């Protein structure tokens, strides 16, 4: 069914889901508490994984405490206002005590300014462009609230032109990168988290000024592995009904790997993509792993 597949609407040039654009003034005016923690990502870069890590860190690795509710109810999605049954982030936060773990996909310039006025801790997660796109493609196939992805070949072009929901991946990763020092943003990479999850969990812990025992850190690393999260009904988005997230098309917890792009890009597509990528990324030196 294409019940929820509305066209995107631009906000200051960024294509967003239409209900976000229609509620823009409310979103822009949102005032977080200074203790709130923002997790910012381009869609499909490792948001849910990071949300789970932070929730466990704040709960000293207590697995049961972090099964109190599904991810979107524990960690509100700032700009999602409707449609049901996706929970409206701002409404949810009215009934939650800070510190709240707030998810956003907004590009840096669209983050409500009160986050910076209040110096909220912000964790940005970036994922290499090709895997990020592959994950987004499968998500757009299964998520009936996003526009139809169309054929893969055309999807690559849309990604390169920044026409997907939340706009250009290139501008997104660059926007936060340029601001990371001034705004004290912890800038993480999905590939680093896969390579050495313990090291990255410890980086997040230190950034949040927490100090947990080695044993608790080990438990958090274990509980946030792809295999465990895939089976955790409070972390795997099985809370979203199948007419909205159609798991038979592709599960939310799909593969959780680095390099799955190799199963999707032809050599020609890869070459064309790389040439364009180099042009778009040459003004920054973000240490993405080279994926050839």
Report the alpha-carbon distance of residue 97 to residue 215 in Å, rounded: 28
Stretch that binds ligand PPS, among 19-27, 144-152, 252-260, 277-285 (CB under 6 A): 252-260
Please indicate whether residue 105 is annotated as part of the active site. yes
Buried (b) or exposed (e) across 164-193, using 16+ Cβ within 10 A? bbbbbbbbbbbbbbebbeebebbbbbbbbb
* Contact between 146 and ligand PPS per CB under 6 A: no
- Give the Cα-Cα-Cα angle 139, 143, 146 (nearest 5 degrees): 95
Q: Quick one: angle between helices 47-58 and 197-207, nearest 10?
A: 60
CB of 117 to ligand PPS, least distance (A): 26
Per CB under 6 A, 224 contacts ligand PPS = yes
Among 105, 138, 172, 264, the active-site one is 105
Kindly tell me which residue out of 56, 133, 229, 239 binds ligand PPS, with binding defined by CB under 6 A.
229
In order of 18, 77, 111, the CA distances from 4 in angstroms are 10, 18, 25
Q: Which of 163, 171, 192, 260 binds ligand PPS (CB under 6 A)?
A: 260
**Which lies closer to ligand PPS via its Cβ, residue 224 or residue 238?**
224
The answer to whether 256 contacts ligand PPS (rule: CB under 6 A) is yes
- With CB under 6 A as the contact rule, which of the stretches 4-12, 43-51, 80-88, 89-97 interacts with ligand PPS? 43-51
Question: By CB under 6 A, which span of 9-17, 29-37, 106-114, 224-232 interacts with ligand PPS?
Answer: 224-232
User: Are the CB atoms for 268 and 101 separated by under 8 Å?
Assistant: no
3-class state of residue 136 by DSSP? helix
Backbone angles phi, psi at 187, to 5 degrees: -100, 110
Q: Is 152 near ligand PPS (CB under 6 A)?
A: no
Give 38: exposed, middle or buried? Use CB within 10 Å, 0-12, 13-18, 19+: buried
Of residues 45 through 104, those in contact with ligand PPS by CB under 6 A are 45-49
Which candidate, 122, 171, 130, places its Cα nearest to that of 15? Answer: 171
CA–CA dist 129, 273 (Å, integer): 10
Residue 264 binds ligand PPS (CB under 6 A):
no
Q: How far is the CB of 256 from ligand PPS (least distance, A)?
A: 3
Nearest distance in Å: CB 145, ligand PPS: 11
Q: Which residues bind ligand PPS (CB under 6 A)?
A: 41, 43-49, 135, 138, 224-226, 229, 253-256, 260
What amino acid positions are annotated as catalytic residues?
Answer: 105
């Amino acid at each position: 069914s294409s019940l929820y597949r509305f066209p995107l609407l631009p906000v200051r040039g960024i294509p967003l889901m239409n209900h976000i654009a229609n509620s823009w003034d409310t979103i822009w005016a949102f005032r977080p508490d200074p203790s709130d923690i923002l997790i910012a990502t381009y869609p499909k870069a490792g948001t849910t994984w990071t949300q789970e890590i932070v929730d466990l860190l704040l709960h000293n690795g207590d697995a049961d405490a972090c099964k109190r509710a599904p991810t979107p109810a524990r960690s509100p999605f700032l700009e999602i206002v409707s449609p049901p049954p996706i929970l409206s982030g701002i409404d949810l936060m009215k009934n939650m005590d800070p510190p709240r773990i707030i998810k956003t996909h907004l590009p840096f310039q669209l983050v409500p300014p009160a986050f910076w006025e209040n110096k909220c801790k912000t964790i940005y997660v970036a994922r290499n462009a090709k895997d990020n796109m592959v994950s987004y493609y499968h998500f757009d196939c299964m998520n009936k609230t996003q526009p139809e992805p169309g054929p893969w070949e055309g999807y690559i072009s849309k990604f390169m032109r920044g026409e997907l929901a939340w706009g250009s991946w290139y501008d997104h990763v660059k926007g936060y990168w340029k601001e990371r020092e001034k705004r004290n943003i912890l800038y993480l990479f999905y590939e680093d988290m896969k390579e050495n999850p313990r090291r990255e969990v410890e980086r997040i812990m230190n950034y949040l000024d927490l100090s947990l025992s080695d044993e608790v850190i080990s438990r958090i690393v274990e509980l946030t592995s792809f295999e465990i999260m895939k089976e955790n009904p409070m972390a795997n988005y099985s809370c979203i009904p199948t007419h909205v997230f159609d798991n038979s098309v592709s599960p939310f917890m799909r593969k959780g790997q680095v390099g799955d792009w190799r199963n999707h890009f032809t050599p020609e597509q890869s070459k064309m993509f790389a040439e364009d990528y180099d042009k778009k990324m040459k003004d920054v030196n973000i240490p993405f792993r080279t994926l050839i």
